[in-house]
Amino acid sequence: MSYQKPAAWLARRAEDVVVALLLCMFLVFLVQIVSRYLLNWPIGWTHEVSVMLWIWLVLFGSAFVIRDVEEMRFDLIYGAVGDKTRRRMALVTSAVAVVVLVLSMPATWDYVTFMKVEKTAYLRLRFDWLYSVYLIFAVVMITRHLWIGFRAIYGKAPDAFDPTKASSGV
């Protein structure tokens, strides 16, 4: 059985999650505007929820929705070099990303688990739940960059940037 169909289905579900987070953030933003400017009744929880949704949107989206080709690169340099140099660049950047993320994991784990003692101001939600998405993000980024490094060594060179196929990443 090919893994491509289940992977494509999971990718679409990850996009659905990002869309749902963005929709919720927009609706909370509208509630905040209506309550503050039409009802003259400012409420604080809307800002809190918007910030939480934004954190999850960015980190979850970066981990599961944005593809490797949509990550930021120095395209002028990357596109101007040959396949062998692009492979080396991919290997070096992947190795650096993996090393930094792996070395930061113990401190990250300690911080996130420590934050169970803190709660948000309005909704009283534990901060460890809010920040747990960073642990997910870090594990996915480590895995992704190990794969990029593996491909740089054993696979074909990463594609040069093609401005005719650029996307917004959304």
pLDDT tens digits for range 42-91: 898 999 999 999 999 999 999 999 887 777 766 777 778 888 888 898 89
**Rounded distance between C-alpha atoms, residue 66 and residue 75, angstroms:** 17
**Rounded distance between C-alpha atoms, residue 32 and residue 9, angstroms:** 35
Cβ within 8 Å of residue 4, ≥6 positions away: none
170 residues of the chain, pLDDT tens digit each: 577 899 899 999 999 999 999 999 999 999 999 999 999 998 989 999 999 999 999 999 999 998 877 777 667 777 788 888 888 988 999 999 999 999 999 999 999 999 999 999 999 999 999 999 999 999 999 999 999 999 999 987 777 666 666 665 55
**Rounded distance between C-alpha atoms, residue 23 and residue 7, angstroms:** 24
Q: pTM for this one?
A: 0.84
